[in-house]
Amino acid sequence: MTIRLGFQIPNFSYGTGVEQLFPTVIAQAREAESAGFDSVFVMDHFYQLPMLGSPDQPMIEAYTALGALATATERVQLGTLVTGNTYRNPTLLAKAITTLDVVSAGRAILGIGAGWFELEHQQLGFEFGTFTERFERLEEALQILDPMIKGERSTFSGKWYTTESALAEPRFRDRIPVMIGGGGEKKTFAIAARYADHLNIIAGLDELPGKLDALAKRCDEIGRDRSTLETSVLLTVMLDENADPAKKSGRMVAGGAKHIAEQVQARVFDAGIDGVIINMPAYTPGVIAAVGDALRPFVGL
């Protein structure tokens, strides 16, 4: 797995009827693929996030949507950014991700994190627990998932989960790559160092050098070569030729396509991050391609 230029779809409110909702999702995925993006992600939520809209705004279930996108695309890798571990038993998640890998002919990425959106848990009946408990559950889940996505049986007895010779077949590849998402330097980065192929860092652009230093320490603590763990950052992009180029936000870049590309080069790649995954507040046909065209020279695609 290599993620140099990814696209995430965080918003399904397109000002259309529901009959045009998923065709618009497909259009974005296909535009990203044609523009040279190497991966497409959806959020794993049931309600829209507080910073993007109200809970009753459209939110489609992640793995159902990814299965459909697998048949509508040919090349891009597909995954969640990221799966909330608390929403599925790890054996069910193993079945979902191995099925996606079969349906997509080997393009699935297992993105996973501890979960954080309390309102979803409260209203939908998922156990939320404490911060510490959610990370305990994530680490147990990864111990179950790791053998299952390699075609091995998983027998595990922990505080939160129990399995007995659990197996996920069929599979398309020897192993599905794992991406951890988050910004926590102690817990999240330590789990990524132990289990992940890729870490998507959720942090402000100015924080990235410090985050990479912390990640290097977590890798050193377990004797892992830091260079074997890919990194990316999630960045919101607003394509607006009239935006003030000097105006910037912690996790957003606004301006013309050339300015956006220069900022990504200077603040992401020059900082030592391997890849960038972008999302956009709204979708207008052509904007994904415009940003992709500007970024491709910087990402080697």
* pLDDT 10s digits, 207-227: 999 999 999 999 999 999 999
pLDDT per residue as tens digits for the range 138-192? 999 999 999 999 999 999 999 999 999 999 999 999 999 999 999 999 999 999 9
Extract the tokens encoding 82: 């990221």
Q: Flag residues of the chain having pLDDT under 70.
A: 1, 244-249, 300-301
- The whole domain housing 291 covers 5-299
Taking the C-alpha atoms of residue 264 and residue 276, their distance in angstroms, rounded to an integer, is 8
Which CATH number fits the domain that encloses residue 130?
3.20.20.30
- 184 with 113: CB under 8 angstroms? no
Taking the C-alpha atoms of residue 301 and residue 299, their distance in angstroms, rounded to an integer, is 6
The structural domain count of the chain equals 1
Taking the C-alpha atoms of residue 50 and residue 7, their distance in angstroms, rounded to an integer, is 21
Which one, of 190, 218, 194, 78, lies nearest residue 145 by Cα? Answer: 194
Q: What is the DSSP pairing of strand 39-42 with strand 5-9?
A: parallel
Within 10 A of 247 (CB to CB), how many other CB atoms are there?
11
